[in-house]
Amino acid sequence: MTNTTLRSVISDARLVAGKDLRLEWRSRVTLNQLLPFALLVLVLFAFALDPDRSVLKDATPGLFWLAVLFSTLLAIQRAFAVETVDGIIDALRISGLDPAGIFLGKAAGIALHLLVVEAALLVGVTVMYGASPSGLLLVVATSIAATAGLAAAGAVYGVLAAGLRVRDTLLPILWLPVVAPLLIGATQAFGSAYEKSSGAGWRWCGLLGAFAVLYTAIGFVAFEPLLEES
Amino acid sequence: MDPVVRFRAAVCLLGRFPALAGVDLDVNAGEIVLLQGPNGAGKTTLLRACAGLVKVAQGEASVLGVNLVDDPKAVRPLVGLLGHATGLYDDLSVSENIRFWTRAGGASLTDADNAMARLGLDGRLASVPVARLSAGQRRRSALAVLLARRPRLWLLDEPHAALDQAGRDLVDSLMVDAVNAGATVLFASHELDRAQEVADRSVHVVGGTTQPSGNVGHTSEAVEVD
């Protein structure tokens, strides 16, 4: 990829991400639906497992990332629902935007929404489960790496499902198995951060970074043909 | 000079159905050509094929020198398509929509502002979310996107639909102005009286094939707009 092409891709990505953030600012879906949903999942986990905080505290890393995973599904569905109405997919195809730029922009938009949700969830597990991390730097790095991977895979599977009538039910079936490695890695890294033994956590964090790069590379290649078929 | 649009025995499949079943069509630079025909005849598919959105499965097809059989995507930055849908985001304002799509097409924000002014969208409507617009106002906004992007080939599917009298006159004048600026226009319409006034000639599309209909009334230089 030449420098000019890369600049064009980044410019298109900024345009698409900016548009998605403006759409969110207008519709307030993250604020009014995604955040309450994520926090509700935390509450339901607390009801289901035990009011005894020790169980919840031990399970915090896994519960946190499960809540993120469920919220990501909603974020992906929202991100591509706005592109599938009133001929917008055709407009995108014909727009002159680089498909790789659209992919990066959509992924960046999803990632920013998720980071807001994760910040709220961190406060939530601290307040509700009594769990506070000792390795804050590892928590931040893990969140960024895992979010990048979730968003990149989400953008790929979001556009794949966009053209299908059964997209709302099919998306979880397709996407969740693919991001299972991210769930495992992020849970392990968070486990280390919450247990004051961050050494192994950084190795898991590195693995998450590798998955994020892999999913982004797949998105660069696969997004265009998927957009054509959607 | 090669025609802007050249189809020879072109076949386009929608699934297994041949929506275009051997189309022959030439459109020369600077022409305004009307596609007319009954519902389901293939007019929309023909326009979408010209935009590189539907694959040409057999035959020959080129638009603006781009071979649509080999590389349909290459023609997309060169054409503008206004279909039945407007391609606008409901939650963004008129101005935000037009500016987004204009920038996406590589045109300047000045082009966007000029287009909004031409379509009468630069007043209070500019900041109104598209979701609150009437069908005619949405159509005007979509036309502003098309105008701002200054395509070399305008592909319009029922461009007069949902518009009031002033809006319809404006569409006609936009087509004539586009041609005067060096573009070419291919459009489909069921409003034959009006469409034939502005078109240089018309082509019948019937059952996925084309039949030339010859010259029709032409409005050459300008169409008056209220």
pLDDT level of residue A1 (50, 70, 90 thresholds): low
Is it the case that residue A74 has pLDDT exceeding 80?
yes
pLDDT level of residue A2 (50, 70, 90 thresholds): confident
Residues on chain B touching A12 (C-beta within 8 angstroms): 104
Question: Between chains, do A88 and B106 touch, taking CB under 8 Å as contact?
Answer: no
Closest-approach residue (CA) in chain A for B76: A94
Q: B165's torsion region: left (phi>0), alpha (psi -120 to 50) or beta? A: alpha
Domain that holds residue A89: 3-229
Within a 10 A sphere around the Cβ of B24, how many other Cβ atoms? 16
Query: Whats the size of chain A, residue-wise?
Result: 230
Question: Between chains, do A91 and B87 touch, taking CB under 8 Å as contact?
Answer: yes
pLDDT the model gives residue B216:
54
pLDDT the model gives residue B1:
72
pLDDT the model gives residue B174:
96
- Sequence-distant (6+) residues with CB within 8 A of A216 are A104, A107, A148, A152
pLDDT the model gives residue A29:
82
Closest-approach residue (CA) in chain B for A9: B104
Tens of pLDDT, residues B215-225: 554 443 434 43
Residues on chain B touching A19 (C-beta within 8 angstroms): 89, 92, 96, 100
Question: Between chains, do B101 and A91 touch, taking CB under 8 Å as contact?
Answer: yes
Are the C-beta atoms of residues A189 and A138 closer than 8 Å to each other?
Answer: yes
Mean pLDDT of B111-123: 94
Of B148, B155, B144, the C-alpha closest to B185 is B155
Q: Which domains are present in chain B?
A: 5-215 (3.40.50.300)
pLDDT the model gives residue B223:
40
pLDDT the model gives residue A198:
65
pLDDT the model gives residue B226:
37
pLDDT the model gives residue A94:
93
Mean residue pLDDT of chain B comes to 91
Are the C-beta atoms of residues B118 and B175 closer than 8 Å to each other?
Answer: no
Strands in B79-82's sheet, in edge-to-edge order, are B79-82, B153-157, B184-188, B32-36, B201-206, B209-215
Mean residue pLDDT of chain A comes to 91
Q: Across-strand partners of B211?
A: B204
Give the count of domains, chain A: 1
Is it the case that residue A122 has pLDDT exceeding 60?
yes
**B103–A contact, CB cutoff 8 A:** yes
Mean pLDDT of B174-180: 96
DSSP A152-185: HHHHHHHHHHHT-TTHHHHHHHHHHHHTHHHHHH
Place of tokens 């991390």: A133
pLDDT level of residue B212 (50, 70, 90 thresholds): low
Tens of pLDDT, residues B195-205: 988 999 999 99
Mean pLDDT of A51-76: 91
Is it the case that residue B5 has pLDDT exceeding 60?
yes
Inter-chain Cβ pairs, chain A and chain B, closer than 8 A: 63
Tokens found for residue A147 = 């979010």
Mean pLDDT of B202-219: 75
pLDDT the model gives residue B221:
42
pLDDT the model gives residue B213:
67
Tens of pLDDT, residues B60-69: 999 999 999 9
Burial class (CB in 10 A: 0-12, 13-18, 19+), B1: exposed
- Taking the C-alpha atoms of residue A24 and residue A32, their distance in angstroms, rounded to an integer, is 10
pLDDT level of residue A169 (50, 70, 90 thresholds): confident
Q: Could you give the ipTM of this predicted complex?
A: 0.88
**B107 φ, ψ (degrees, to nearest 5):** -85, 170
Work out the minimum CA distance from B208 to partner chain A, whole angstroms: 22
pLDDT the model gives residue B70:
93
- Taking the C-alpha atoms of residue A219 and residue A205, their distance in angstroms, rounded to an integer, is 21
Question: Between chains, do B53 and A94 touch, taking CB under 8 Å as contact?
Answer: yes
- Taking the C-alpha atoms of residue B110 and residue B118, their distance in angstroms, rounded to an integer, is 12
Closest-approach residue (CA) in chain B for A27: B91
Question: Between chains, do A88 and B88 touch, taking CB under 8 Å as contact?
Answer: yes
